[in-house]
Amino acid sequence: MHTSIVLTAATLLYTVFAAPSRLPAHHFRRCANETAINSTTPGTAPATPSCDLSGLSQPASTLQPPASDTQLVLIALGQGTQNYTCGANLTAAPSAIGAVAQLFDASCALSSDPTASTTALGTIEESAKSIGAHFFLDTTTPDFDIVGLGNTQAKKVEDCNAPSSTADVKWLRLEAQAQGSTSSVKQIYRLNTVGGLAPSSCEGKAAGDIVTVKYEAQYWIYA
Ligand SMILES: *[C@@H]1O[C@H](CO)[C@@H](O)[C@H](O)[C@H]1NC(C)=O
Ligand SMILES: *[C@@H]1O[C@H](CO)[C@@H](O)[C@H](O)[C@H]1NC(C)=O
Ligand SMILES: *[C@@H]1O[C@H](CO)[C@@H](O)[C@H](O)[C@H]1NC(C)=O
Ligand SMILES: *[C@@H]1O[C@H](CO)[C@@H](O)[C@H](O)[C@H]1NC(C)=O
């Protein structure tokens, strides 16, 4: 049963990659309040079994656009927690130790409504099964394990402030690492974040305490 789902997904992915793609130009804006820049994103393609992503362009940001030889294969809604730990100095903010999130397929929702907010996408969770998990192998190695795509170990290569930088965790560009990856995924962007920021101090807590803060994000996944 599981194997046949994976095989079907692999077949569909093969079909997707075999299709020719055009390279439309898209307009990118800097994160938060900086001035506009223009750039180019690669052609996009349908996700695993779901919907046509070719009309979608990534939310505007200062992050370097996806590499021109990649295709958008999935947009996942992540829902979980950003985790932090308190050091000996309780006046200082806790430091990041990773995140844990369930992933849901948001490709169709965004394909039919490209500007849907992450919060609006939250209802996917009520009607769909999780398609995978996001977690950390160590404090600097995010991992994405997704049915039909495989496992991807990644490294953060760039970040920028979310438009509401005092409310939402940063937007990120991640590069897949060969080591530990079984998928053909090359790049993952964390965008349209909601929540997840660390408290400004560890007052009221003890050294070594874990602080978990709920967050949601869109993960735009390119293979
Ligand atoms: C731009 O955003 C930064 C934080 O992201 C803030 O400190 C700064 O005041 C903002 N500038 C303007 C002009 O809004
Ligand atoms: C960016 O694109 C807009 C139209 O999409 C254009 O008006 C503007 O001149 C461009 N800016 C640069 C720096 O290319
Ligand atoms: C992070 O928090 C989650 C709860 O959302 C917990 O299940 C997980 O074990 C925590 N991981 C670490 C490394 O603290
Ligand atoms: C503790 O952290 C605060 C906030 O970062 C800092 O101002 C203070 O100097 C630190 N205290 C010590 C003893 O390092």
Cα 44 to Cα 67, 161, 223: the distances in Å are 11, 25, 10
Q: What spacing in Å lies between the alpha carbon of 36 and ligand 2's midpoint? A: 8
Q: What spacing in Å lies between the alpha carbon of 201 and ligand 2's midpoint? A: 42
The mean pLDDT value for 41-63 works out to 68
The closest-lying atom of ligand 1 relative to the alpha carbon of residue 34 is 1
Instruction: Indicate which residue's Cα is closest to atom 10 of ligand 1.
Output: 33
Residue 198 in this model has a pLDDT that exceeds 90: yes
Question: Would you place residue 50 in the very low, low, confident or very high pLDDT band (cuts 50, 70, 90)?
Answer: low
Beta carbon of 207 within 6 Å of any ligand 4 atom: no
Secondary structure letter of residue 179 according to DSSP? T
pLDDT of residue 51: 85
Query: In 3-state terms, what secondary structure has residue 17?
Result: helix
The mean pLDDT value for 145-149 works out to 95
Mean pLDDT of the chain: 82
Q: What spacing in Å lies between the alpha carbon of 156 and ligand 2's midpoint? A: 29
The closest-lying atom of ligand 3 relative to the alpha carbon of residue 210 is 14
Note the ligand closest to the C-alpha atom of 81: 3
- Sorted by sequence, the CB contacts under 8 Å of residue 15 that are 6+ apart come out as none
pLDDT of residue 88: 97
Q: Is the pTM of this model over 0.85?
A: no
Residue 11 in this model has a pLDDT that exceeds 90: no
Question: Would you place residue 132 in the very low, low, confident or very high pLDDT band (cuts 50, 70, 90)?
Answer: very high
Where is average pLDDT lowest: 12-16, 112-116, 164-168, 187-191? 12-16
The mean pLDDT value for 63-69 works out to 96
pLDDT of residue 54: 85
pLDDT of residue 44: 30
Secondary structure letter of residue 168 according to DSSP? B
Query: In 3-state terms, what secondary structure has residue 205?
Result: coil
Stronger pLDDT, 148 or 37, i.e. the higher one: 148
Among 82, 83, 213, name the best residue to mutate to test ligand 3's pocket (greatest count of ligand atoms within 8 A of Cβ). Answer: 83
Where is average pLDDT lowest: 17-21, 55-59, 118-122, 217-221? 17-21
Give the DSSP per-residue string, 44-108.
Answer: ----SSS---TT--PPP-SSPPPPTT--EEEEEEEEEEEEEE--S-TTSPPEEEEEEEEEEE-HH
Beta carbon of 161 within 6 Å of any ligand 1 atom: yes
Single-letter residue type at 184: S
